[in-house]
Structure formats: C-alpha cells, structure tokens
Amino acid sequence: MVKHNLVLDIPDVLAPCTLVINDISSYNFNDPNLCCQMLEITPPGFNTAIVFNNSNNNISLNYNFSLALTACDLGLQTENCGNEYCDLSDGVYIIRYSISPNDVVYVEYNHLRVTNIMNKYKTTLCCIDINKNKLGYDNVKLMKTLSDIRTYIDAAKAMVENCGRAQEGMAMYNYALSLLDKINCNYC
C-alpha cells in the first residue's frame, strides 16, 4: 500500500498582510498515482473555501511547497494587488490540503491567526518603563496584566487548534483583545 503522511506547518507570523503555509509532508514518490494537489482555505467569516491547485491559479503547489499568501491571493483584495497589501484579519482559518484521491488523502487544520493581536501585544510591551533598573508598582501591574493577556491568547489558540473548540477559542481571543484595549499606553 502506498503511504503518504500529509502535514502542514502554519507558523504564527508578525507580518499582518501574509499567511504562511509550509508543506512538510512525507510523500511516497514511487506512487504512480501521486498527483492532484489541492489546498483549500476558508478565511474567518466565510463559508466557501478558496481553492488552489496547479490548474486554476498563479500559485504553484509543488511537493513540500512554501507559500506566503496575501489578501490578493485569497481573493479578499481585488484592487491595487501588487502595489498595496491589505492586512489579513485574525480569526479561524480552515485549511485543508489533499492529494489524489482528494476525498480520502487529506489533512485539515483550524488555524487561529493571532498576528494583529500579537502585534498590539508587543507594542504594549514597549510601555513598560524601567527607570534606573527599578520596577514601580504600575510597571509590575502592567507586566502581570500583559502576562495574563498572553496566556489568554495562547489558550485561545489551544482551544481552536488542539481542542477543536473554535467558538470558545474565539471568545477567549476576544476577551484577551478587550483586556489589551483597556490598557492606556502612549508608546509611539
């Protein structure tokens, strides 16, 4: 029996306009029927997947591909593609990758994109002010709050990606974002 081990790596990136997907699968290249790669991505708030294969778009799906997809690639941006890049939203992206027979040999992920909240989190970290190597009460309180927020973000990702509880994960994400929004930080 021909055996393939399909695996995608979907790293968290801090580039707000890019979704990175790496194929780190193990293929049996002796399989004469190895063909028909298909990548399907359903962005947050959508019910229909954007389908990538080697016959219908400008994206090449070589074996062990590495893609950096933009809003233009996903059809979410239709104007000024190549000149301006819109940010991709945070949220649950359903990502499915398959080879022939596509209904049998596939892998599917719920990926919680946290790029925008992590950029906001890291900017807020810049508000910590160490004056003469002493942390005052306000800084300690801010650090504790930021630590809690980071834990909520990590828990949200685990809920979505490991536990299969997307709705609960998004609720936790939104709670972390609301806590982050309450921090009064004037860092430029």
Res. 133: pLDDT tops 70: no
pLDDT of residue 132: 43
What is the arithmetic mean of pLDDT over 70-87?
93
Read off the pTM.
Answer: 0.91
Half-sphere exposure of 115 (CA within 13 A, CB side): 20
pLDDT range class, residue 130, cuts 50, 70, 90 = low
| pLDDT over 90, % of the chain | 76
For residue 14, give the nearest of 65, 52, 68 by alpha carbon. 68
Q: What is the pLDDT of residues 25-78, one digit of tens each?
A: 999 998 888 899 999 999 999 999 999 987 766 788 889 999 999 999 999 999
Q: Which domains does the chain have, with CATH numbers?
A: 8-113 (2.60.40), 115-182 (no CATH)
**Is 26:4 a contact under the CB 8 Å cutoff?**
yes
